[in-house]
C-alpha cells in the first residue's frame, strides 16, 4: 500500500516503513506525527484519488531525527557593474519513518 501526502509545500510518495526527509516539523525525536493531507492512496490496481484530499485518510509516522542539509552556495553577480555578493544556506529537515497508512 502506498500514499501521496502533502507537507511543507511538497508532495511525497510514501509506503509503510519508508524513511523520508521533509521540511522541519516542530516535534521531538521519537514523537508520533500524523499527516492528514493525503492526495492519493493505492494498493495494486485499486487507487483512490482525492479532490484535492481524501476524506478520512491519514498517514502516521514517527520522527527519527532533525538535521541540516548540505551547504548551498548562493552567488549574485552583475557583469561589468562591479557587483558581486555571496552567501550560503543550509536547509533544516526532519527525518520521519512511516508507520501506518489509513485509507
pLDDT in tens, 36-60: 999 999 998 999 999 999 999 999 9
**Under a CB-based contact definition with an 8 Å cutoff, are residues 40 and 54 in contact?**
yes
Closest CA to 14 of 64, 61, 65: 61
83 in any annotated domain: no
Is the pLDDT score of 103 beyond 90?
no
Is the pLDDT score of 15 beyond 90?
yes
72 in any annotated domain: no
The total number of structural domains that make up the chain? 1
Question: How large is the average pLDDT for residues 67-83?
Answer: 98
18 in any annotated domain: yes
CA pair distance 11, 64, nearest whole angstrom: 20
Query: Containing domain of residue 22, as a range?
Result: 2-67+94-102
Amino acid at each position: 500500500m502506498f500514499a501521496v501526502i502533502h507537507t511543507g509545500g511538497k508532495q511525497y510518495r510514501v509506503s509503510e516503513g519508508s524513511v523520508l526527509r521533509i521540511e522541519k516539523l516542530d516535534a521531538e525525536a521519537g514523537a508520533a506525527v500524523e499527516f492528514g493531507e493525503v492526495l492519493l492512496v493505492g494498493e495494486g490496481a485499486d487507487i483512490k484519488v482525492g479532490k484535492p484530499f481524501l476524506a478520512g485518510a491519514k498517514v502516521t509516522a514517527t520522527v527519527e531525527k532533525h538535521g541540516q542539509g548540505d551547504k548551498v552556495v548562493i552567488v549574485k553577480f552583475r557583469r561589468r557593474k562591479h557587483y558581486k555578493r555571496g552567501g550560503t544556506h543550509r536547509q533544516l529537515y526532519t527525518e520521519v519513518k512511516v508507520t501506518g497508512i489509513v485509507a
